[in-house]
Amino acid sequence: MLFLIILLSVAMVLDCVILVFLVLMQLPKKEAGAALAFGGAATDALFGAGSGNFLTKATKYAAGIFFGLAIFLSILQSVRAHQPGSEFMEKVKQHQNEQPALAAPPAPAPAPSAAPATNVLNTNVLIVPPAQNTQSTPVEAPTNAAAMPTNAAAPQK
């Protein structure tokens, strides 16, 4: 079946190339454009005055063959993927067997250490150690403005 898929894929690529050339050789409605630049005027000399009819029919047949090959190849690929011995089915079964192992609960996180570890991947995090209190007695704020100390030595502006 793989040989048939490869053979039909090559036929589809050749059909694509033929389809591109057929579209480029057709005369445009205004007698100018890409078909004229790529030899559209030479089709009258090669195929005769009715070359538009021949190229139109050939384009229709090439497009029909292209769509037929695309549908047939998609059916063949689907059948090949669902065969019992296919690689795809083996990987699906292997993945299904691994699912219960993945469903196990995660292990508890270890307690944080005293020294923070540097994380190279996440540099946006700033770790600040807790502030240490160096004063043994609390300082109370003054209750009125007269009790606030003033700096007499500072120059006034």
Can you list the positions of beta strands (E) in 19-153?
none
Angle between the N-to-C axes of helices 51-81 and 2-25, in degrees from 0 to 180, rounded to the nearest 10: 160
Q: What pLDDT, on the 0 to 100 scale, is given for residue 10?
A: 96
- Judge whether 125 and 119 are in contact, CB under 8 Å: yes
Q: What pLDDT, on the 0 to 100 scale, is given for residue 8?
A: 94
Measured distance CA(103)–CA(119) in Å, rounded: 28
Q: Where are the domains of the chain?
A: 2-102
> CB atoms < 10 A from the CB of 126, how many?
5
Tens digit of pLDDT at every position of the chain (157 positions): 889 999 999 999 999 999 999 988 887 665 555 555 555 556 555 655 555 688 889 999 999 999 999 999 999 999 888 877 777 778 888 888 876 554 555 666 666 665 555 555 555 666 777 776 666 555 565 566 555 556 555 556 5
Closest to 27 (Cα-Cα) out of 44, 47, 4? 44
Q: What pLDDT, on the 0 to 100 scale, is given for residue 44?
A: 58
Q: What pLDDT, on the 0 to 100 scale, is given for residue 118?
A: 56
Measured distance CA(61)–CA(95) in Å, rounded: 44
- Judge whether 22 and 83 are in contact, CB under 8 Å: no
Q: What pLDDT, on the 0 to 100 scale, is given for residue 156?
A: 61
Measured distance CA(58)–CA(18) in Å, rounded: 10
Q: 59, exposed or middle or buried, with CB in 10 Å at 0-12, 13-18, 19+?
A: middle
Type of residue numbered 76:
L
Measured distance CA(149)–CA(127) in Å, rounded: 37
Q: What pLDDT, on the 0 to 100 scale, is given for residue 94?
A: 84
